[in-house]
Structure 1
Amino acid sequence: MHPAALADALLTCVQDVVGERAEVSAADIVLERPRSREHGDWTTNAAMRLAKRVGVAPRDLAAQLQERIATIPGVSGVEVAGPGFLNLRLDAAAAGELARTVVEAGGAYGRGDALQGVAMNLEFVSANPTGPMHLGGARWAAVGDSLARILESQGARVTREYYFNDHGAQIDRFARSLVAAWRGQPTPEDGYGGAYIADIARRVEAESEIDMLDLDDDALQEHFRAAGVQMMFGEIKQELADFGVVFDVYFHEHDVQANGDVERAIERLRERGHVFEQEGAIWLRTTDFGDDRDRVVVRSNGEPAYFSGDLAYYLNKRDRGFDQCLILLGADHHGYVGRLMAMCEAFGDEPGVNLQVLIGQLVNLVRDGKPVRMSKRAGTIVTMEDLVEAVGVDAARYALARSSVDSPLDIDLALLQKRSNDNPVFYVQYAHARTSAVARNAAAAGVDRSAFDAATLDHPTEAALLGALADFPRVLAQAAQLREPHRIARFAEELAGLYHRWYDACRVVPVGDDAIGDRNRSRLWLNDATGQVLRTALGHLGVSAPERM
């Protein structure tokens, strides 16, 4: 039985029992997998949620519901547990029917509509074009693209956006570094090192249509800035594309300063009464919204402060019609969250809803527990290119997305290079390849899906496997709700483990001269259902699902 169908049946039962004593909606029916399969296939806290509204003790309401729920076709048992939980068991036929549901739904299985029609702007990576993509940016590339896929699975309209910083002090240092490299001079004290600087300087010279020797210092720096930034950003875009990450919008920081967005943002905030002037500067009173101090928007010399760009960019997004703006920032931006949320509220929006900020922690490469420093091109940093060269795109994306972004991440290169079950991405991909091999062997032996008897899927490993498949829509919805793609990776690893155990215990192809029966055909349905869910889960992480390994 599909979880959604079971939830609908439970809602009907609860409404019948509660009657006019309280209003009951689908939101009151929450189904979860018990921590231990000994407690049943599903558990619900509906009685505990409704007890106060109905005016009875939770266990008493659970007892009233128990008898009614036991009449649902396919439910073989209902137990009251703890303070009022209801643990449900399904008979083999009801549980096994899910295998056919998954196969027939294909890639649509697991999709939901909780975010149907919500327009989301997801801004991630946004690394300054001053050097190759480092590991922090690579982590956000993997996490951000996976999150976009997961949000889309729940109906959201997601725009992937890259905020392209082509101005400011860092860009000036980058340009000075290029000029110094071209002249054969040492890297400026505050400049950028690494072989890539010399590479770009040579490219700028080779592709220049003017004689750079005729330029004065200011003109030369501007020439290197314009050409160098475009070359570096072109490399970043290509690196990301090779990593499977393509953005819908590349938004230039210069645009919000040049097109009047800053002035519009200040005027909007002034109309709302949150802007004031002091000592010749224009300020936003962010302390009214929990910030630790008010923020300068325009300095006393008339120059816009850095924060003015944040105001203008956020308003630009909202004016483009985005309901929710999600920003993925590095660990060094943790102090920005308070002022950004204050800004959101000053505009009259709801922090945490209209504006959401995720902060990612640091990433380190290790081998045998020791840090790895292997970048020849970038000098002191390890780049996404280094990681991909060492382990490949699939392993890199999986490793970067499988852990919560709230925690620092150590990536063990030796582990990711192993072709063994110790390597998580290999373990999951091998499970998918094994489902494909089973399907090929079944076809060769004459086993097909011409019949399906769900009741024959009664082995304990089949019950466990079906339980995990049933849980996939909930896991996917929760990953979207909590903005946590790593939940999909951990689910895939659990499903792979259950599949490997089922493979060891149950055969799809008959042994010896045994005749092909409906049990074999039904097991092929279950095999193919598992392959489909593994393929979908890996797809949400931007990782391939090979058919042979």
Structure 2
Amino acid sequence: MTPEQLQDVVRTAVGAVVDRGALPVEVPDEVVIERPKNPEHGDYATNVALRLAKPAGRPPRQVAEVLAEELRAHEGIATVDVAGPGFLNITLAKGALGGLAVRAVTAGAAYGRTDAFAGQKLNLEFVSANPTGPVTLGSTRWAAVGDALGRLLEATGAQVSREYYVNDAGAQIERFGRSLQAVAHGRPVPEDGYQGDYVETVAQQVVAENPGLLELPDDEQLTVFADRGVAAMVAEIRSTLDGFGVHYDRFFSERTLHESGALEKAVGRLREQGHVFEADGAVWLRTTTFGDDKDRVLVKAGGEPTYFAADCAYYLDKRARGFERVVIMLGADHSGYVGRYKALVAATGDDPEHHLEILIGQLVNLVKDGEPVRMSKRKGNFVLLTDLVDAVGIDAARYALARASVDQQIDIDADLWSRKTNDNPVFYVQYAHARISSLLRNAADLGLPLGEAADVDVAALAHPRESDLLRAIGEFPRVLASAAELRAPHRVARYLEELAGTYHRFYDSCRVLPRGDEEATSLTTARLWLCAATATVLRNGLDVLGVTAPERM
């Protein structure tokens, strides 16, 4: 019995006592089920009696006793004790807890998935680095966390579209084009231009693909260098992210907003809403009406639309495509952007608390010899996604980036994350899966396959370490749902590390395979299913993080 199933059992029990008039309350929509810190207090605990005491007009312990009597009649429950001010400590029947192993194995890749967010259609935008350089370490954090979040949301029933916003319009694109043009002619890069080896590489590629380019008039050259240079960078960014296991449903070009008239339509809609005014020759959006610290310019005095105008058009485009919620992941340097974006959403007539979500992440450093490597994108002295992968590998890189809460700045120690030892968290989790895979192969070699689910004596799994492992397996669906709700993939990583530790302790205490001439028993089979269930959860959890679950290490 999973915690979710136990929730239904408790709610049914409340409903039964209400129906017969024993408690004058309404049946709660949700019931909190927790694992007691002390295993001696049972498998699970609930505070439902404390919550119902006030509306029932009775002492919590009295309410708890009424519910305990009802729950004790359930065949899947062994004991129910009333503790403290009115907590219910529940111990499941042996078969009810052991059945978690069978359920996990038979569900396979579906185990842990829920419909907690079914019906939600979200647009998830992440990374969206300017197409004027390769993917840096800072953007890599969002690649790992954003993709993991998308997987999490999908695992809990949401419909997610991953999107990369290509900033291919504006002054930085002209600067990039002039940088390429200068390098192609053997001239110094402009002072405000882009530098680095990649600039020369892209410039050579553009020239090779466009014979006679350097003989064209200067302005025509600039247009080609800017257009083709950006196209080359977008192709490289896409390829780099694909290699990192991050795949987008759409790369959205900012330029299309300018060319399609979407910006003018967006300004027109905001004007119709009554929030646009003109001052000093410019067109403004009165965002202070919606809590922003100052009003924002949409169109400059010279007639040039601002980035903010493009953001307005882009948001409206997403909503027009049917996305109920727009989720945007931004770096720490964009924290001041939240207020104005919420204001523009409100100005369109939407509810920023419902239709918009902005996640801000902190910086990440790659540490070498105890010192963080400094980054400067403009000068070309930066750490790339590919540098991180070369240093620690894709799995370790993704796991390390997703393992910490995004509101924490992190340092990635290349030495630690490249070790094949248990102090490397991703190795520790992957090794647990590989260890189980090896055990199951050995069992098959001994002629001990898992067999049919109906033949498993789940009640045989009565050892304390087996119970610990079963309870941990039962927590997985709730961990995924909670991590998705809190936008916290790091909770999955920490859970997997705890699960791996729980498995290792079980393995050290409970012999699985027979030795020598010993005969296999029903306990042998049950423990094999428990091991296979653990492997299923480890595999599913790692998949949510975009990390592989190797069978050999």
Q: TM-score range by the shorter chain?
A: over 0.9
TM-score by length of 2: 0.95
Residues in 1 aligned to 2:217 and 2:115: alpha-carbon distance in whole angstroms: 60
Q: Is the deviation greater in 73-82 or in 224-233?
A: 73-82
The one-letter code matched in structure 1 to 2:515 is V
Aligned pairs for 1:268-417 within 5 A: 268-372=269-373, 379-417=380-418
Aligned pairs for 1:376-525 within 5 A: 379-450=380-451, 451-525=455-529
The one-letter code matched in structure 1 to 2:104 is V
Query: In the alignment, is the contact (CA less than 8 A) between 2:194 and 2:380 conserved in 1?
Result: no
Is 1:22 aligned with 2:25? Answer: yes
Deviations 1:327-378 (A, max 9, x none): 0111111000011111122222222321100011101011353223699998
Deviations 1:292-347 (A, max 9, x none): 11212122332212211111110100010001110011111100001111112222
Alignment RMSD (CA, Å): 1.9
Post-superposition offset of 1:83:
4.0
Describe the SS at the equivalent of 1:131.
Answer: coil
Aligned pairs for 1:219-258 within 5 A: 219-258=220-259
Is 1:3 aligned with 2:7? Answer: no
Residues in 1 aligned to 2:404 and 2:317: alpha-carbon distance in whole angstroms: 32
Query: In the alignment, is the contact (CA less than 8 A) between 1:147 and 1:485 conserved in 2?
Result: yes
The one-letter code matched in structure 2 to 1:114 is A
Deviations 1:188-207 (A, max 9, x none): 22121111111111111222
Query: In the alignment, is the contact (CA less than 8 A) between 2:263 and 2:312 conserved in 1?
Result: yes
Residues in 2 aligned to 1:8 and 1:487: alpha-carbon distance in whole angstroms: 25
Deviations 1:360-415 (A, max 9, x none): 11010113532236999983110101001111111111111111111111101000
Post-superposition offset of 1:275:
2.2
Deviations 1:168-192 (A, max 9, x none): 1222221121122112222322121
The one-letter code matched in structure 1 to 2:11 is L
Post-superposition offset of 1:43:
1.8
Residues in 2 aligned to 1:375 and 1:308: alpha-carbon distance in whole angstroms: 28
Identify the residue that residue 191 of structure 1 maps to in structure 2.
Answer: 193
Identify the residue that residue 12 of structure 1 maps to in structure 2.
Answer: 12
The one-letter code matched in structure 1 to 2:480 is L
Residues in 2 aligned to 1:177 and 1:369: alpha-carbon distance in whole angstroms: 35
Query: In the alignment, is the contact (CA less than 8 A) between 2:194 and 2:379 conserved in 1?
Result: no
Residues in 2 aligned to 1:504 and 1:485: alpha-carbon distance in whole angstroms: 30
Query: In the alignment, is the contact (CA less than 8 A) between 1:28 and 1:49 conserved in 2?
Result: no
The one-letter code matched in structure 2 to 1:6 is L
Query: In the alignment, is the contact (CA less than 8 A) between 1:195 and 1:376 conserved in 2?
Result: no
- Residues 45 and 263 of structure 1, relative CA distance in 2, 3 Å threshold: farther
Q: Is the deviation greater in 88-97 or in 240-249?
A: 88-97
Post-superposition offset of 1:79:
2.8
Q: Is the deviation greater in 57-66 or in 379-388?
A: 57-66
The one-letter code matched in structure 1 to 2:526 is S
Residues in 2 aligned to 1:150 and 1:2: alpha-carbon distance in whole angstroms: 19
Q: Determine what percentage of the aligned residue pairs are the same residue.
A: 56
Post-superposition offset of 1:108:
0.7
Deviations 1:515-535 (A, max 9, x none): 111000011110100001100
Which residue, 173, 178, 182 being the options, matches 2:175? 173
Residues in 1 aligned to 2:129 and 2:38: alpha-carbon distance in whole angstroms: 44
- Residues 272 and 37 of structure 1, relative CA distance in 2, 3 Å threshold: farther
Is 1:36 aligned with 2:38? Answer: yes
Describe the SS at the equivalent of 2:130.
Answer: coil
Residues in 2 aligned to 1:159 and 1:524: alpha-carbon distance in whole angstroms: 39
Deviations 1:39-76 (A, max 9, x none): 32112222233333323343332232222222222322
Post-superposition offset of 1:8:
1.5
Q: Is the deviation greater in 171-180 or in 142-151?
A: 171-180
Is 1:537 aligned with 2:541? Answer: yes
Describe the SS at the equivalent of 2:439.
Answer: helix
Describe the SS at the equivalent of 1:89.
Answer: strand
Aligned pairs for 1:20-99 within 5 A: 21-25=24-28, 27-99=29-101
The one-letter code matched in structure 2 to 1:184 is G
Post-superposition offset of 1:502:
1.1
Post-superposition offset of 1:439:
0.6
Describe the SS at the equivalent of 1:328.
Answer: strand
Describe the SS at the equivalent of 1:293.
Answer: coil
Describe the SS at the equivalent of 1:352.
Answer: helix
Describe the SS at the equivalent of 2:214.
Answer: helix
Residues in 2 aligned to 1:34 and 1:179: alpha-carbon distance in whole angstroms: 66
Identify the residue that residue 103 of structure 2 maps to in structure 1.
Answer: 101
Residues in 2 aligned to 1:98 and 1:270: alpha-carbon distance in whole angstroms: 58
- Residues 277 and 54 of structure 1, relative CA distance in 2, 3 Å threshold: farther
TM-score by length of 1: 0.96
- Residues 245 and 489 of structure 1, relative CA distance in 2, 3 Å threshold: same
Deviations 1:417-450 (A, max 9, x none): 1000000111111111111111101111122223
Residues in 1 aligned to 2:13 and 2:531: alpha-carbon distance in whole angstroms: 33
Residues in 1 aligned to 2:124 and 2:40: alpha-carbon distance in whole angstroms: 41
- Residues 302 and 57 of structure 1, relative CA distance in 2, 3 Å threshold: farther
- Residues 163 and 446 of structure 1, relative CA distance in 2, 3 Å threshold: same
